[in-house]
Amino acid sequence: MIEKIRRSNTMGQHDDIDLSWKLLNRKYISSRRKRIQKYTISTAVSVAAVIVVIFLVFNHTPKFVFFTSVLSNSDIFRDSLLYQKEIILISNGKQIELANGTTIEYNDNKANEIDPEMYTSKTAEVKYDQLVVPHGRRANIVFQDGTHMYINSGSHVTYPTLFDRKKRELFIYEGEIFLEVAKEIDRPFIVSTQNFSVNVLGTSFNVCTYKEDKSAQVTLVEGSVQVILSNANKVQVLPDQCMNIDGIEYSIKNVNVLEYMAWKDDYLYLEKQTCGNVLTRLSRYYDAKIVFDGNISIIPVKGKLNLENSLQEVLDVLCLSLDLKYEQDTTGLLIVSKKKH
């Protein structure tokens, strides 16, 4: 379990420090590619829109009825599975262990043969799978409509094994996902969290909800999305905008969307980030325990980090660029501090 990162309230002024991409290429870029395992339930690949979803889990009573039924044991899942070492697919009451980088594929080529009642019966029970992706792991899902979902470290998602006739909806308890949504005008795509939902009206966007983060975020790449808050307030988000959500309060700002979607391509694009935020994301991505003080947390960072490299290689680049150092104690804890001159 990632140790909570210490920060102080001391603030100061710093000039942005660029991470050297040339340094990454010269010293650290690796030609290693991840070996991808496919867990095939079926195959379908067609993309019309891109969604990145990152949102925060708030400690309030769930606003969506779904979470009180299907996710009634989510605390158990988080404690017993989310911090384990391997990915767990929960399907038909069974827990299936999957390798890092696994792609789960569903297919509707024979959907009526597999489950004919899904499209013909009004009383058929919807079947849901759950996927728990622990820290240090990532996974992908290709749904039967062709929608592709990339799932980041520390995530717990639930979805129907076959989408409904009138809408396509999935649920995220915690974590970060990137969605490439197959366009269907007559069947909208909905991403629901415990406190808000995002309706896709033909689009590309990012939503994220980590428990330790201060707020939820919805970032639109292109197209159109509508965010519905827990008080039923509906907010339209425009391309290149990020909506920060804290309960029923929200704010919208213009952003470079690469900062919110580059993780799916195994790098961090940093434009207006702080060192503390970067180290928190690295600890989650690599399943590592990292601590640092408040003076380090507020240092501005700008540049790119290649996440295909090892954590040590990435920290070498970060520390060299920011005049920092790190050391690892006997328990595996990584301690980042300023160099003494």
* CA distance between the termini of the chain: 34
| 102 three-class SS | coil
Block mean pLDDT (10 aa), the chain, length 341: 29 46 42 48 40 45 41 50 81 90 77 39 71 94 91 93 91 90 89 89 80 88 88 92 92 93 92 92 94 92 94 95 94 93 71
Domain ranges of the chain: 17-28+266-338, 38-260
pLDDT of the residue at 182:
86
Provide CATH code, domain 17-28+266-338.
Answer: 3.55.50.30
Using H for helix, E for strand and C for coil, what is the string for the chain?
CCCCCCCCCCCCCCCCEECCHHHHHHHHCCCCCCCCCEEECCCCCCCCEEEEEEECCCCCCCCCHHHHHCCCCHHHHHHHHHCCCCEEEEECCEEEEECCCCEEECCCCCHHHHCCHHHHCCCCCCCEEEEEECCCCCEEEECCCCCEEEECCCEEEEEECCCCCCCEEEEEEEEEEEEEECCCCCCCEEEECCCEEEEEEEEEEEEEECCCCCCEEEEEEEEEEEEEECCCCEEEECCCEEEEEECCEEEEEECCCHHHHHHHHCEEEEEEEEHHHHHHHHHHHHCCCEECCHHHHCCEEEEEEECCCCHHHHHHHHHHHHCEEEEECCCCCEEEEECCC
DSSP one-letter code for 26: I
Residue 305 and residue 270 in contact, taking contact as beta carbons nearer than 8 Å:
yes
Q: What DSSP string runs through 254-304?
A: E--THHHHGGGGTEEEEEEEEHHHHHHHHHHHHT--EE--HHHHT-EEEEE
Closest CA to 176 of 146, 202, 138: 138
Provide CATH code, domain 38-260.
Answer: 2.60.120.1440
pLDDT of the residue at 93:
85
pTM of the predicted protein model: 0.76
Q: Which pairing describes strands 189-192 and 196-209: parallel, antiparallel, or unpaired?
A: antiparallel
DSSP one-letter code for 331: T
pLDDT of the residue at 108:
56
pLDDT of the residue at 56:
41
